[in-house]
Amino acid sequence: MSASSSAGHSRLTKAHKMSIAGVSVLGAAALAFSLVPAGTSEATVIDAAPVAWTHVMNSQTKSVEHLTAQQSAAVKQAADAAAKAKAEAAAKKERDSKEAASRSAVRTPVFANNLDGWIKEALFIMKREGIPGTYAGIHRNIMRESSGNPRAINNWDINAKNGVPSKGLLQVIYPTFKAYHVKGTKFDQYDPVANIVAACNYAADRYGSMDNVNSAY
């Protein structure tokens, strides 16, 4: 006989167990009849059988109640464990998010609000976006175009006559600024950093780099 067959025969259902218990009680009752001492009335023996059967049934009921209680406790423990795991996962996600934001803040330097700081911040963004250019090339063109004044505006050249005057540190017209504006900078021609980055993005597309620009562009 195989092990699986043996294991299959060894399993008893609850109904089998109760049937066996009933048979045992009847057997006990039968045995009681056969072993009735002389002088014992038949009624006394018969009365003992229902008492034994009631005892077995009470025992079976208590066993079922015990198993039900155990199952309820197991379900509650599983639910508690799931709730705990969910709460821990949410807490970990929040911690990771805060740590990522903190690392990002650490990596982003603080720049001065002046020409030097504007160029350095523009270069920081340009490096992230893959836009070529150097401090020297940007500074040289800024001094030629606006003398470092972020509010500079050209109201006399052909662009001005066409209604789109050049504005800002690198004197960018609106259509060019709009086309080459870099996401993450202000959408404002007069904003010094946005103006520099958009102008350098345009210069990279047309001349290879702002470093290659040495006159009006």
The pLDDT-based confidence of 32 (bands split at 50, 70, 90) is: very low
In a domain, 217, yes or no: no
Torsional class of 108: left (φ above 0), alpha (ψ -120 to 50), beta (otherwise): beta
In angstroms, the CA 131 to CA 205 distance is 9
Same domain? For 77 and 131 the reply is no
Residue finishing a domain among 80, 106, 132:
106
Contact partners, residue 45, CB within 8 Å, separation at least 6: 29, 32, 33, 36
145 and 81 in one domain? no
Share of the chain above pLDDT 90, in %: 49
In a domain, 85, yes or no: yes
Of the candidates 58, 83, 106, which is a domain's last residue?
106
Q: Which domain holds residue 40?
A: 12-106
- Residue 117 φ then ψ, to 5°: -65, -40
From 85, 106, 127, give the residue that closes a domain: 106
Question: Residues 65, 101: one domain?
Answer: yes
Measured CA to CA, the distance from residue 217 to residue 214 in angstroms comes to: 8
User: In angstroms, rounded to a whole number, what is the distance separating the alpha carbons of residues 200 and 136?
Assistant: 13
The pair phi, psi for residue 172, each rounded to 5°, is -100, 135
Q: Say if 6 falls within a structural domain.
A: no
| In contact, 140 and 162? CB cutoff 8 Å | no
Instruction: Look at residue 9 and tell me whether its pLDDT is greater than 50.
Output: no
pLDDT higher than 90, residue 51 = no
Total count of domains within the chain: 2
Same domain, 66 and 140: no
pLDDT in tens, 184-205: 999 999 999 999 999 999 999 9
Q: Kindly report the pTM of this predicted structure.
A: 0.54
- 3-state class of 181 per DSSP? coil
Are 211 and 133 contacting, i.e. CB atoms less than 8 angstroms apart?
A: yes
